[in-house]
């Protein structure tokens, strides 16, 4: 079949179905000069490899995007990451962002929450509400989503080791609102392997951590079919200093490990694979980043179809969220960060992201203010509504440079995955320190290039000024820690503590067995067992992971 015939078939079938599901944003896409933009371009029939390598949008191998119409049907979800101080303060910020046009929520939790401690635990001293919102109980979660209908919004939660517990809280709050589990849409990060590699907010050793993940896979496949059960994260790998090719390789290697763990737990690949999602970084080199996203999509499609024999097209599709690169933000001349973020966001859009967070200009200095968050959101909206970048389904396809970079990133990432396979998989490579060492070497090389002025960072090693930073600052009131302690004291005094102790005993027994823990987590949350109480019960059974030196 010729390329033109393939295009005609696509336009009549997949494209038509997608347009019926997502009516096009406007009846005609054209430039200011009146030049009409066709939905997608295909090459001349003299290029025989085109369909095998690129295909068409919405079709295997998804190099050109996972939906046939991409942003012609609807824009990516504009999901600004936010959370600080108390649940009430964060709720106000969420409602502000939704009012400003944000289309999805993304929750940042403080460090004690991320590692399973209540706000009044001695381990939480001085950290409550500092890098995210403090959530110790279902009552905190209820305040966080007050006046936000959970059947109407999509919520992403950046939580890993205690992801199942926070998801159970979310479900309990939804039930209070009268929302059934099946109506919930969103994502939990739930990616523990990258915590061992690049981020450090782990709690338990690998075997029970992987059990928690596969329990979530199984439970959500049955009960919350629209929920993304994991967001396999290259973002933090890149923030730790990796290259673009390493980001793809190590992310997909982790993903392979999760699929293997789920299969070992007896799950059918097509029952959970459509609920897997990914999370990538958008860095400064615009063209390499576009190619990176395309290569990752194509590689995952091949891995799922050829390696794991998945049968459903939804199992082959790499759907991903993108965040602009926090590590590239500079405290010097912070207004320059608006330009960096714009270019990074544009690379994500040109690369076909499903949702996007744009960093605020002042994040290298302090928590972002409402004004800087609004500018970050407006950056996405200007790209969407004014730039024309969203009017073509795959605007850079066929560029000699883009296709070359896509092929090269796939080649380099595939070589890494083969090395990791030869070591016995992602966990074995992490235990040997392989991924960590590769990332550290790349980070060192990049930093040396900046120090030697081989790479220029505007305002840092070239084009400096002595101007004083005058941006408005967002501050955290230190009194919030005492307030959190008091809320927990009242909660523990008013709840049914006999029931709480019964549930903690049941949880201890279940942790020693093999039953799915999610139903028990939900029961715990509905009876006001706290996050720390659940995690400390599990610590007593499973112990804690301690990273060895390399």
The band of 472, judged by pLDDT with boundaries at 50, 70 and 90, is confident
The band of 380, judged by pLDDT with boundaries at 50, 70 and 90, is very high
What's this model's pTM, rounded to 2 decimal places?
0.95
In the block, tokens 């091949």 appear at 302
* Burial class (CB within 10 angstroms; exposed 0-12, middle 13-18, buried 19+) of 12: exposed
Tell me the mean pLDDT in the region 96-112. Answer: 91
Query: What is the per-residue pLDDT for 478?
Result: 79
Assigned fold of 77-451:
TIM Barrel (3.20.20)
Query: 97 is written with which tokens?
Result: 């962002």
Q: Highest mean pLDDT range out of 22-31, 364-373, 473-482?
A: 364-373
Query: What is the per-residue pLDDT for 68?
Result: 93
The band of 202, judged by pLDDT with boundaries at 50, 70 and 90, is very high
* Burial class (CB within 10 angstroms; exposed 0-12, middle 13-18, buried 19+) of 517: buried
- Is the model more confident about 538 or about 468? 538
Dist CA 9 CA 68 (whole Å): 12
Beta bridge partners of 155: 105, 186
The band of 550, judged by pLDDT with boundaries at 50, 70 and 90, is very low
Which part of the chain is CATH 3.20.20.240? 77-451
Query: What is the per-residue pLDDT for 468?
Result: 81
Q: Tell whether the model's pLDDT for residue 151 goes beyond 70.
A: yes
Dist CA 397 CA 198 (whole Å): 33
Query: What is the per-residue pLDDT for 1?
Result: 66
Among 21-30, 339-348, 423-432, the range scoring the smallest mean pLDDT is 21-30
Query: What is the per-residue pLDDT for 368?
Result: 87
Q: Tell whether the model's pLDDT for residue 474 goes beyond 70.
A: no
* Burial class (CB within 10 angstroms; exposed 0-12, middle 13-18, buried 19+) of 376: buried
Tell me the mean pLDDT in the region 526-548. Answer: 96
Beta bridge partners of 458: 462
What b/e sequence results for 280-300 when a residue is b if at least 16 CB atoms lie within 10 Å of its CB, and e otherwise? bbbbbebebbbbbbbbbbbbb
Query: What is the per-residue pLDDT for 486?
Result: 97
Query: What is the per-residue pLDDT for 82?
Result: 81
Q: Tell whether the model's pLDDT for residue 84 goes beyond 80.
A: yes
Mean pLDDT of the chain: 94
Query: What is the per-residue pLDDT for 549?
Result: 59
* Burial class (CB within 10 angstroms; exposed 0-12, middle 13-18, buried 19+) of 493: exposed
Dist CA 356 CA 321 (whole Å): 6
């Amino acid at each position: 079949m010729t390329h033109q015939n393939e295009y005609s078939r696509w336009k009549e079938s997949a494209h038509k179905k997608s347009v019926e599901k997502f009516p096009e944003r406007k009846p005609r896409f054209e430039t200011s000069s009146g030049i009409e933009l066709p939905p997608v371009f295909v090459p001349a029939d003299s290029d025989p490899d085109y369909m095998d390598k690129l295909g068409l949008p919405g079709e295997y191998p998804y190099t050109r995007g996972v939906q046939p119409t991409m942003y012609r049907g609807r824009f990516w979800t504009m999901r600004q990451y936010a959370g600080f101080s108390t649940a009430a303060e964060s709720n106000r910020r969420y409602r502000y962002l939704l009012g400003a046009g944000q289309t999805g929520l993304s929750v940042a939790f403080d460090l004690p929450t991320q590692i399973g401690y209540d706000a009044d635990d001695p381990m939480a001293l001085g950290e409550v509400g500092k890098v995210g919102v403090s959530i110790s109980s279902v009552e905190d979660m209820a305040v966080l989503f007050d006046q936000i209908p959970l059947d109407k919004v999509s919520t992403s939660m950046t939580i890993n080791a205690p992801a199942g517990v926070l998801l159970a809280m979310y479900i309990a709050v939804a039930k209070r609102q009268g929302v059934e589990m099946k109506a919930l849409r969103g994502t939990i990060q739930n990616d523990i392997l990258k915590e061992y590699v690049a981020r450090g907010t782990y709690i338990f050793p690998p075997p029970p951590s992987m059990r928690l993940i596969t329990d979530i896979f199984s439970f959500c496949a049955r009960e919350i079919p629209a929920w993304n059960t994991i967001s396999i994260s290259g973002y933090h790998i890149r923030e730790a200093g990796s290259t673009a090719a390493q980001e793809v390789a190590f992310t997909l290697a982790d993903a392979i490990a999760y699929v293997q763990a789920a299969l070992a737990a007896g799950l059918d690949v097509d029952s959970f694979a459509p609920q897997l999602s990914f999370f990538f970084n958008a860095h400064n080199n615009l063209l390499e980043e576009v190619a990176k996203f395309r290569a990752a999509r194509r590689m995952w499609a091949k891995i799922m179809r050829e390696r794991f024999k998945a049968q459903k097209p939804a199992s082959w599709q790499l759907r991903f969220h993108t965040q602009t690169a926090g590590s590239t933000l500079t405290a010097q001349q912070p207004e320059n960060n608006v330009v960096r973020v714009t270019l990074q966001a544009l690379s994500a859009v040109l690369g076909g992201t499903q949702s996007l967070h744009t960093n605020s200009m002042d994040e290298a200095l302090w928590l972002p203010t409402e004004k800087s968050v609004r500018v970050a959101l407006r950056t996405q909206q200007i790209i969407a509504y004014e730039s024309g970048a969203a009017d073509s389904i795959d605007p850079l396809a066929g560029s000699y440079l883009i296709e070359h970079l896509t092929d090269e990133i796939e080649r380099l990432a595939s070589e890494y995955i083969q090395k990791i396979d030869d070591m016995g998989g992602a966990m074995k490579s992490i235990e040997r320190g392989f991924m960590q060492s590769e990332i550290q070497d790349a980070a060192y090389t990049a930093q040396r290039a900046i120090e030697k002025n081989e790479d220029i960072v505007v305002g840092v090693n070239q084009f400096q000024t002595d101007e004083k930073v005058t941006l408005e600052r967002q501050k955290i009131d230190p009194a919030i820690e005492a307030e959190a302690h008091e809320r927990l004291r009242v909660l523990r005094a008013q709840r049914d503590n006999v029931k709480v102790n019964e549930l903690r005993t049941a949880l201890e027994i279940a942790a020693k067995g093999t039953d799915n823990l999610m139903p028990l987590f939900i029961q715990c949350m509905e009876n006001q067992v706290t996050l720390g109480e659940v995690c400390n019960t599990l610590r007593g059974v499973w112990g804690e992971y301690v990273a060895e030196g390399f």
